[in-house]
Amino acid sequence: MAYSLKDQVAVIGVGCIKFGDNFDQGYEEMAVEAAFAAFNDAKISPDEIDAAWLGTYSPAQGHGKAAVSLGDALRLYNKPISRVENFCATGTDAFRHAVLAVASGIYDTALVLGVEKYKDRPGRGLAREGVHPYHNDGSTAPGLFALAATRYMHTYGLTRETLAKVSVKNHYNGSLNPKAHLQKKVTPEEVLTAPIVAYPFGLYDCCPTTDGAAAAIVCRADLAKKYRNDYILVKGVGLSVTSGRPFMDPNFDYLGFKATQHAAAQAYEMAGIKDPLREINVAEVHDCFTWTEITNYEDLGFAKKGEGAKLIEEGRTTLTGDIPVNPSGGLKSFGHPIGASGVRMVYEIVTQLRGQGGQRQVKDPKLGLVHNVGGPGAVSCVAVLGQP
Amino acid sequence: MAYSLKDQVAVIGVGCIKFGDNFDQGYEEMAVEAAFAAFNDAKISPDEIDAAWLGTYSPAQGHGKAAVSLGDALRLYNKPISRVENFCATGTDAFRHAVLAVASGIYDTALVLGVEKYKDRPGRGLAREGVHPYHNDGSTAPGLFALAATRYMHTYGLTRETLAKVSVKNHYNGSLNPKAHLQKKVTPEEVLTAPIVAYPFGLYDCCPTTDGAAAAIVCRADLAKKYRNDYILVKGVGLSVTSGRPFMDPNFDYLGFKATQHAAAQAYEMAGIKDPLREINVAEVHDCFTWTEITNYEDLGFAKKGEGAKLIEEGRTTLTGDIPVNPSGGLKSFGHPIGASGVRMVYEIVTQLRGQGGQRQVKDPKLGLVHNVGGPGAVSCVAVLGQP
């Protein structure tokens, strides 16, 4: 088979709430604010939505369990609505489903809503639900990613000083972004002397726990002009799932994630991208930890394996570099409410492609990338968005 | 918009394990058996599967939480795999997603796998997970459906004797089906004198708690002949979500489910069906309780509201009637492992349309229907399958 999409689907509206410790907003309130921001952005009425996808990873008491959480929040009734869940790629995969649905010709328009509530509930996703293959041995996301990061440091000579530069860059970008969770700059010294969470990751190498919601509206590309002239095309989507136990896989080299490599290959094939470093102008990638951003550079084809650190060392992924990465502030600074993150990244890339990034706007991007990896390492979803 | 599908997608393989108290099979073992039955049925290699969808409603320790549960069970790696969850319509909605995906032109083939393990785990879905809006007040599925059934009985004069006929019919069909959970006939007397679960439902008015797995493989219709000559076309799919709290909705009349009515309307529009009673030749509908089957007759357009009981009274929905319903034995006799049920119904309708139903085969069906309703009452998914 050959993956093809043929510019059939456009993004006509995006919305994102202020991420953070949203103790003043419940799950439904965040959902409503994000969705109506997208409705207003697209100048579309909720009645015109043909189908919807909800991305929530961690359901809790009375919300997030199923599609009805979206329907009831928005009073969007008598429509096809589904919930998708795919670890940390939940939001991007929900977006992918809306794209598939519109490309199928069955629906003209679709809503994607990513919502996650973590700050006023007992515990958080994995351990609370008792369903994650790792939790019995006490392994956590920082612990598992740290195993890979230390192996990578040993193999390629990466240092904590270089990791800190990812944190400094993303915190700087977030300081320019009024919707980010942590709008503060950090210095290399602050990063390097922060309490260690799991070596080599200190507090500022880790993304925070955050509440948030984001939404996007896609439609048939041939109908997009009905809504706006500056619509954005979906050029490709990719999803790949490896073993749910990559850290137990004897073939896992701890140096990067196959899931990202395969998801990117699918999306690049659809988008006709041969040289991602030169062709992609802006990227939102999954920086759950500083090391993850560096391995993502490689797995996404921006650098050869083992050479990702050069991009951050040479400043090429800053707002003014040739391949700006995480202009939003990334998971590190914007926060990572799991089901919302991928949709929030779509929001950021669409905003950048429209030239509406304000202080964090990168220069004239034509093609942008959205990437999540989760599981940890088991699943990755990639979307490529571009100017018509 | 107009819902359209245009005979783009075919079912080329189905598989179903023996449903029951499968204490000798774990989640992964059931998944593998169902999936390989479908691979063998389609004469397709797992390598040829382009994308997959997993339908599991109730994840438990170490399985079912995400797409990796399918990938690891089948060693199906480096592919796009997603998990869908939509209450009791989970399996049908997973099938719908595979149909959308192939119709999009992005994937040539897709696997749908529905799996659910209930019999050797603590508790069952709703209460255990603590996320269902009803569980705090002690309401259960039998209790909620009983509220509607008693209202319906009061309004239309339906009796427990008529409800019992649904049970007798479905148990009879199940007695002919070697894969059904409860392969035993029951008499009207046995049904009417069984212990009451929630009036008007006695034990034999309720579907059992069951383990099971089923799989289906869809592909581009223009490629179907590569795999088999007797492929089946997907003529329509519909999904509708109403409030997740229909029993708290002041406008809910307790006499039927809007979700079913709207999902059926979507699928019928795609399939060009104007008169479902005459055009559909065989149906698998969601008989979680005997009353549900009767209200389904009406919500699916086989009878006017209040007149569904006539179909069972007149024997029209038996194996030899003009609109055989639940030839498999239905949820009542085949069992209802939630995520598996919708896919199992696709298995049954494909088997019937191929004329491979054995002792339970209905006469020369050309068009068949699959229906689930869940939530309770909040969500419904309908698929129409037909001869090319």
Tell me the per-residue pLDDT of B207-231, one tens digit each, with 9 for 90 and over.
999 999 999 999 999 999 999 999 9
Say if the Cβ atoms of B83 and A85 lie within 8 Å: yes
pLDDT (mean) for B165-169? 98
- List the single best residue of A106, A220, A248, A268 to mutate versus B (max B Cβ within 10 A): A106
The per-residue pLDDT for A135 is 45
Q: Name the percent of chain B lying above pLDDT 90.
A: 84
Using CB atoms, which residue from B77, B87, B103 is nearest to A104? B103
Say if the Cβ atoms of B77 and A245 lie within 8 Å: no
| pLDDT(B242) > 80 | yes
| pLDDT(B129) > 90 | no
State the DSSP code for B108. S
Going by their DSSP bridges, the two strands A51-55 and A109-116 should be labelled as parallel
CA distance to partner chain B, nearest, from residue A63 (Å):
7
Give one DSSP letter per residue of B128-192, joined into a string.
Answer: HHT--TTGGGT--HHHHHHHHHHHHHHHH---HHHHHHHHHHHHHHHHT-TT-S------HHHHH
Dihedral angle of Cα A329, A335, A338, A344, to the nearest 10 degrees:
-40
Q: What is the largest CA-CA distance in chain B?
A: 57
Using CB atoms, which residue from B86, B240, B258 is nearest to A66? B86
Stretches where chain A sits below pLDDT 50 are 124-136
Q: What is the ipTM of this complex?
A: 0.94
Which residue in chain A has the smallest CA separation from B87?
A: A66
Say if the Cβ atoms of B104 and A101 lie within 8 Å: yes
Amino acid at B179: K
Lowest mean pLDDT: which of A373-382, B283-292, B321-330? A373-382
The per-residue pLDDT for A3 is 77
- Looking at the DSSP bridge assignments, the partners of residue A60 are A63
Of residues B380, B386, B76, B41, the one with CA closest to residue A241: B76
CA distance to partner chain A, nearest, from residue B172 (Å):
34
- List the single best residue of B5, B50, B82, B117 to mutate versus A (max A Cβ within 10 A): B82
Using CB atoms, which residue from A59, A84, A244 is nearest to B71? A244
The per-residue pLDDT for A68 is 87
CA distance to partner chain A, nearest, from residue B94 (Å):
9
The pTM of the full predicted model, rounded to 2 decimals, is 0.95
Say if the Cβ atoms of A379 and B66 lie within 8 Å: yes
| pLDDT(B131) > 80 | no
B336 among known catalytic residues: yes
The catalytically annotated residue of B63, B336, B371, B381 is B336
| CB contacts, 8 Å: A80 with chain B | 96, 238-241, 263, 266
Using CB atoms, which residue from B3, B67, B96 is nearest to A241? B67
| CB contacts, 8 Å: B83 with chain A | 84-86
- List the single best residue of A241, A245, A269, A382 to mutate versus B (max B Cβ within 10 A): A241
Say if the Cβ atoms of B80 and A242 lie within 8 Å: no
The per-residue pLDDT for A122 is 55
Amino acid at B158: L
The per-residue pLDDT for A334 is 98
The per-residue pLDDT for B63 is 67
What residues have CB less than 8 Å from B251, skipping those under 6 apart? Answer: none
CA distance to partner chain B, nearest, from residue A183 (Å):
33
Taking CA atoms, A143 is separated from A200, A205, A206, B66, in Å, by: 10, 12, 11, 21
b or e along B286-324 (b: 16 or more beta carbons within 10 Å of the residue's beta carbon)?
bbbbbbbbbbbbbbbbbbebbebbebbeeebbbbebebb
Confidence of residue B36 (pLDDT cuts 50, 70, 90): very high
Indicate if the alpha-carbon torsion angle A124, A129, A134, A135 is positive or negative: positive
| CB contacts, 8 Å: A5 with chain B | 105-106
| Cα–Cα distance for residue pair A43/B166, rounded to 1 Å | 50
**Residue B14: φ, ψ to 5°:** -140, 155
Confidence of residue B120 (pLDDT cuts 50, 70, 90): confident
Averaged confidence pLDDT in chain B: 93
Say if the Cβ atoms of B71 and A109 lie within 8 Å: no
| pLDDT(B62) > 80 | no
Taking CA atoms, B24 is separated from B31, B212, B214, B265, in Å, by: 13, 12, 17, 41
The per-residue pLDDT for B249 is 76
Using CB atoms, which residue from B72, B109, B129 is nearest to A244? B72
| Cα–Cα distance for residue pair A311/A293, rounded to 1 Å | 11
| Cα–Cα distance for residue pair A35/A216, rounded to 1 Å | 8
The per-residue pLDDT for A196 is 97
Query: Do A55 and A70 form a contact (C-beta atoms < 8 A)?
Result: no
CA distance to partner chain B, nearest, from residue A129 (Å):
8
Neighbours of A272 (CB within 10 A): 11
